[in-house]
Amino acid sequence: MKRKIILSGAVIAVCIMSFAFTTIQQPKPWPVPDKFARIANPVKANAESLSAGKALWNQHCASCHGKKGLGDGSKAAQLKTTPQDMTLAAFQSQSDGALFYKTKEGRDDMPSFKKKIPEAEDIWNLVNFVRTFKK
């Protein structure tokens, strides 16, 4: 009887830990309005755009998202949510317009960059640079 109770307790503990781990690791859905999701990037991803995007990345994003977009920046451990790995196909499959919207608007730990990066062209340059993180 005592052995069944211990075994049952262990099974319950494993289930709770598994549930907690999977809910922590799964990013919550971040809906993007259709008008943004469908917007094409008007800025060509040339050397000038990528250079500008990299400079903005290093100034505003790398501290949380890491130098290579892996979510391992120096401030990442201080956040309530883990920054996504931007090299993964699930991230890269988002439209440029969706990435523009999320950067501009922000949510939770991700700040809005409406004021810090007020020029739309600069956000598009940043989107172009984020595309270089593909695996």
Average pLDDT score over the chain:
87
Q: Are 132 and 50 in contact (CB under 8 A)?
A: yes
| CATH superfamily placement of domain 29-133 | Cytochrome c-like domain (1.10.760.10)
The answer, yes or no, to whether residue 21 has pLDDT greater than 50, is: no
Q: Of 13-22, 55-64, 93-102, which gets the smallest average pLDDT?
A: 13-22
The stretch 8-24 carries a mean pLDDT of 48
Residue 6 banded pLDDT, cuts 50, 70, 90: low
The pLDDT assigned to 75 comes to: 96
Q: Taking CA 45 as the corner, what is the angle to CA 41 and CA 27, rounded to the nearest 5 degrees?
A: 60
- Between residues 20 and 97, the one the model is more confident about: 97
Residue 28: the pLDDT is 82
CA distance 102 to 90: 15
Cβ–Cβ < 8 Å for 123, 100: yes
Q: How high is the pLDDT of residue 119?
A: 98
Distance CA 11, CA 116 (A): 49
Residue 101: the pLDDT is 98
In the structure, what pLDDT confidence band is assigned to residue 20 with cuts at 50, 70 and 90? very low
Give mean pLDDT, residues 25-53. Answer: 92
Kindly report the backbone phi and psi dihedral angles of residue 110, in degrees, each rounded to the nearest multiple of 5, phi listed first: -80, 110
Furthest-apart CA pair in the chain: how many Å? 72
The torsion angles phi and psi of 79, rounded to 5 degrees, stand at -85, 155
Rounded CA-CA distance 43/25 in Å is 33
The domain ranges of the chain are 29-133
Give tens-digit pLDDT for 88-124: 999 999 999 999 999 999 999 999 999 999 999 999 9
